[in-house]
Each structure stands twice: as structure tokens, then as C-alpha cells.
Structure 1
Amino acid sequence: MKFKERVCVNVLSPLSLRSPMDFLRAVRTYEEVFPNVLPEKWGWWEPLDQAFDAQNVEALVPATGTCETVFWQRKKYPKAEGAFSVRWRSKSPMVKDTHSNIDLTLELADVEQDLLVHALETLSVRTEADIAILDVANARYKDFAFDSASAPFGEHFMLVTHVLRHWLPDVFWGTVFGPPYVQLFGKDRLMSAPAAVVKELGEEMIYLQLTDKLADTIYNFDAVLASRSAVKAHLAVDAFFQSERAYDRAEKGPTGDLFVTPEFQLRVDEKD
């Protein structure tokens, strides 16, 4: 689906989302925060040809009772697409299991900023997120986003656990730092970061916003860059990707040793 100014929401949770209880809680939370941006069609794979019924979200659970990733799209206004991705389980010693991932893309002009921020915060709290982001793809940022692997296709932000075990790509316009990153950076240092908004969402969960307006990512990108640099300098931990120190992650194995990264404690449940 084509977007002119692509808003990306990405929530990484240590929950597997394979159990119907956790998966449906995530879907219902999405329905709660985005009642006017509900999916139209969904599927466990292409084509997305199943009609979404907000009154019967249990249909998203396969007959096996173990949830699978659901992809969805909405073509009418406001258009959107996304996925509720369950944990990917590794069968190789060269990589480790991943977070589950709630992914959403919308058009910048179609949804109010306050709603987007509220949705990011609520989804993060309800899924106990390790990290979550809200940002808009900007052509000036495309090369760095591609190099840091925060936007593997150059235009859509998508945090991936495999990358986070090597480096944190960046501070995004809106970033929720969950327990692993609060422990890594320190709560006091995060709370005193030089950002437009810094808010505590929980005991070990902090929301940080670089500038006052999400539209700055398109129309005042220099302010976003300046705030991003100031925040990273303030955090003073060698965790963030740097182009001049880049390396081939495949050569390092599942976990890197050049940048400082947290040890993720992924939850195990009866469906995992």
C-alpha cells in the first residue's frame, strides 16, 4: 500500500503472543485506541481476504489454539496496514528467538498526533513492551535508517530483535523505553533527557518525545536531528549505531560485542 508521509508505529513485547489470551488482549487494545482505524481485511498469509469482524476477534485464533501472525489492511479512509506478529522461534544456534511485534502504518495527515501517542503508550503498557517507536519516514534519513537496519526497505521503520541484540538503531521521534533499556541507560538519566516530552509510564517504562510536533519529522527535520543528537549525547552509553563502526551482523553471530546492548528476558508461556 502506498503512503505519502508514512507514520510507523512499532511495539516489541517480550510476550510471545502465541496464547489466545495475550494475543486477543493486544487486538482488543488496538480496537480500543483506534476505533476508527479498524482493519477491513486480514489473513495469516497472502491474500488478505478474510473480513475483519470487531465483534468476533476470536476468529483470528487458528483452530489449533496457538496464535499465528495476523496481517491486515484498511483501504478506505483513513487507510492503514499492520500486523500482530507472534514470536518467531529459532531453530538455529546462529540466531535467537524474537519479540512479538505490533506494527502499524498510517498516513501522517489522517490521524491526530495525540491519538497516535496515546495508542503507542497504551499498547506498550498493555503488552509490557521492551521498546516501542513512533516516527515518520523522511527522505533525508533514508540512508541512515537503511544502514542502521531500522528501516530495512528504506521507508518503513521496523525494529527487529536480531538487530537490537547488536545495536540500538537510534532514538526515534517517539520512543518507549521498557525495562531492558531503563536498566541500561538508568532511570534518572532517561527522565532528565533534553527532549520535548519525557514521561514515566510505569516503574520501568519511559516515553521520550524529541519535539513538540510529529510533523517536524517532515517539515522541521533539523530540529528533530538536533534533539536526537542531544538525547544520545546525554544518555552517554555506547549503545547507538554509528555508520563508521558498522559491521556485518552475520559474522558476529546472534549477539554483538561492539555496542552495549541489553539482555532481553523473553517470556515463556504454555503456547511458546
Structure 2
Amino acid sequence: MDYTYPSIGFNLMSLKNFQDRGFATKVIYKINEYGKDFIPQKFDIYQPLKRKYNPNNVSEVIDVWMNDTINQECSKDEYAEGLLLMKATGRSKASYMVNWKKDNVINFNTFSCSVNIEYVKYKDNLDKFINLCKELIDLIEPVHGKIVNESFAGAFEPVELTIRHPELQWMNFFGKPYINLFGREKLLSVPAHNVESIGDKVIAIQTTDNIFEPIPNDIREKIKKHLGENAFVWDGKRALVYKNKEENIVPKFDFSEVLFDKTKPIIEPQIRIRKRN
């Protein structure tokens, strides 16, 4: 089933160390800088959110992000994780999720934010939201990301970056591994509505002018053919369809910052029961 919601989503996948209190504090402070429309009122590790958010003292929020008590108990299992949910009740109805873990299984840490679609129908509000997204990108340094209209089918497709890049959305963020793969100049010359660098580690490709209209297939096809057809999924297919194809074009990802023990090799994924505090 294809889920849709009346919202605009911002999603990042990163290989940065999220188990860093200083880094987490910078991300939370950046959200606070954008004022009452984006500052959360509630936070917790699961729904319903019961903890009151105080923008003047975010230490408890950072404690939840770090999840130190549980992670100390799990250290003998060579595993650590954190989950933080936050929700704003202002005009944007912004919601946030931070999800990270460290073990020796291939994994990407994630940061997500969504805002009510009615809020961003005002250009000033959309610009403010995009500016927040770009400033968070500077901090989070994603390998992949997107801004997507979640009222359209396909907004929540599974992402398997180690197989192929997912379908192109309204705005797509290509981090350092993709810049190394395709080349900076080739990314900057993509046939799209707008292309720009965000710092020196991310290039943003905006497919069309209007986020409230579906993206024509021919625009997506031109971008994929320009960069390399075998780097992307096609025709609404999932990445797993291409899992055993040797012609897949995939970046070299550096997982060292998300490994629990950098001296040990990466192991195959396995089922693990998530512990809550």
C-alpha cells in the first residue's frame, strides 16, 4: 500500500557520528533558531509524546537523543542506539525524528522532519522551511536526502543506497559519496530546474519549480541518463529488484563513524530486539 499524508517531508541519511552530545546540541539549537513555528512543544522516545520541551534548557532532550543509560547496559553486546521524537503545535505542525545506531552492521543514521502542507503554501513559509533544511544539512552532512511532497504516491519508498539510488523527488541532496561517484561538475550540470552546492559536501538538485505538482517522468529520466542510468531505480521499481545485478553503480560509503568497534569487520544484518528506557 502507498501511504500519503498532507505534508512536506525532509529526510536525511547520514554516516556522521550521531552519538556526540556536542553535535546533537547544535542540531537542536539550529531548530530553535527558526522560532515558534518550528520549536517543538513535546518530545519523547515513543508516542504519545509526554515530555515538555523547554527551548531554554535542552539538556533533557539531548539525554533522550544520547540514550546513555540503556547504551551503557548494551555496551557488552557491542551495540548502541538512540531515538528522539519531537512535535511542534505551531502553524507548521512540524514533527521531527532522529534515529541512530552503532553496531557492526551496515546502517545509515537518519534525521526527518515534516511540516503541514497548508503551512508551506505561503511562499515565505516554504522559503523558511527550505532554509532550515539547508542549515541542518550543513550540520548533518548527509550522504543522501530529499524534500518531498508526501501527498503524492511514492513519497515513502524503501531506500537501499547500497544497491541503487531511490526515485528522484522534488529536491534531492547528493552527499560526498555521490559527488565522488558522479563528479561535482557533472552533478552541477544536471538538466533540472535548479542545482546548487550546499557547502562543499552536498549538491542539491531541484527537479521542478512547483512542489505542489507531480514531477513529470521525462524530467526524472533526463537526470538519470545524465548521471548514469544504472545508478537509479526505474519505473517505480524498488531497489531490491536490482540486488543481484553486477552493473549497479553505487558510491563507496565510509561506515567507520557508525560502527561500534572500528577494529572489527562489518557483519551481515540480523534481527535485534530494540530496548527502550
Question: TM-score, normalised on structure 1?
Answer: 0.77
* Per-residue Cα deviation, 1:198-220 (whole angstroms, up to 9, x for no partner): 1112234211111122223xxxx
- Is 1:103–2:92 an aligned residue pair? no
Compared CA separation, residues 270 and 179, structure 1 to 2 (3 A)? closer
Q: Write the letter of the residue equivalent to 1:59.
A: E
CA distance in 1, matches of 2:4, 2:94: 9
- Is 1:242–2:252 an aligned residue pair? no
- Is 1:201–2:201 an aligned residue pair? no
* Per-residue Cα deviation, 1:29-78 (whole angstroms, up to 9, x for no partner): 22224652221211122331001111111112147376721012234432
- Is 1:259–2:265 an aligned residue pair? no
The 5-angstrom pairing of residues 72-221 of structure 1 reads 72-86=86-100, 88-90=101-103, 96-111=105-120, 112-139=125-152, 142=153, 145=154, 151-152=156-157, 160=159, 163-216=160-213, 221=214
Larger gyration radius, structure 1 or structure 2: 2
Is there any run of 5+ residues in structure 1 with no aligned partner, and where? 153-158
Would the aligned equivalents of 2:176 and 2:201 in 1 still touch at CA under 8 Å? yes
CA distance in 2, matches of 1:229, 1:34: 39
Q: Write the letter of the residue equivalent to 1:72.
A: M
CA distance in 2, matches of 1:180, 1:116: 26
* Per-residue Cα deviation, 1:88-127 (whole angstroms, up to 9, x for no partner): 3346xxxx33222110111122032212221222111111
RMSD over equivalenced CA pairs, Å:
3.0
The Cα shift of 1:20 comes to 0.9
Q: Write the letter of the residue equivalent to 1:105.
A: S
Matched residue, 1:155: none
The Cα shift of 1:258 comes to 5.0
Matched residue, 1:156: none
Would the aligned equivalents of 1:89 and 1:97 in 2 still touch at CA under 8 Å? no
Compared CA separation, residues 137 and 103, structure 1 to 2 (3 A)? same
Would the aligned equivalents of 2:167 and 2:234 in 1 still touch at CA under 8 Å? no
Matched residue, 2:68: 64
Compared CA separation, residues 35 and 179, structure 1 to 2 (3 A)? farther
CA distance in 2, matches of 1:57, 1:114: 26
* Per-residue Cα deviation, 1:137-161 (whole angstroms, up to 9, x for no partner): 344xx2xx3xxxx615xxxxxx64x
Secondary structure of 1:151 counterpart:
coil
Would the aligned equivalents of 1:190 and 1:235 in 2 still touch at CA under 8 Å? yes
Compared CA separation, residues 197 and 89, structure 1 to 2 (3 A)? same
Secondary structure of 1:42 counterpart:
strand
Q: Write the letter of the residue equivalent to 1:103.
A: S
Matched residue, 2:13: 12
Is there any run of 5+ residues in structure 2 with no aligned partner, and where? 72-80, 262-277
The Cα shift of 1:177 comes to 0.9
* Selected match of 1:225 from 201, 217, 228: 217
Q: Paired residues, what number? A: 242
Q: Write the letter of the residue equivalent to 2:197.
A: E
Question: TM-score, normalised on structure 2?
Answer: 0.75
Would the aligned equivalents of 1:40 and 1:73 in 2 still touch at CA under 8 Å? yes
Would the aligned equivalents of 1:13 and 1:131 in 2 still touch at CA under 8 Å? yes
Would the aligned equivalents of 1:19 and 1:270 in 2 still touch at CA under 8 Å? no
Secondary structure of 1:190 counterpart:
helix
Would the aligned equivalents of 2:174 and 2:203 in 1 still touch at CA under 8 Å? yes
Matched residue, 2:78: none
Secondary structure of 1:25 counterpart:
helix
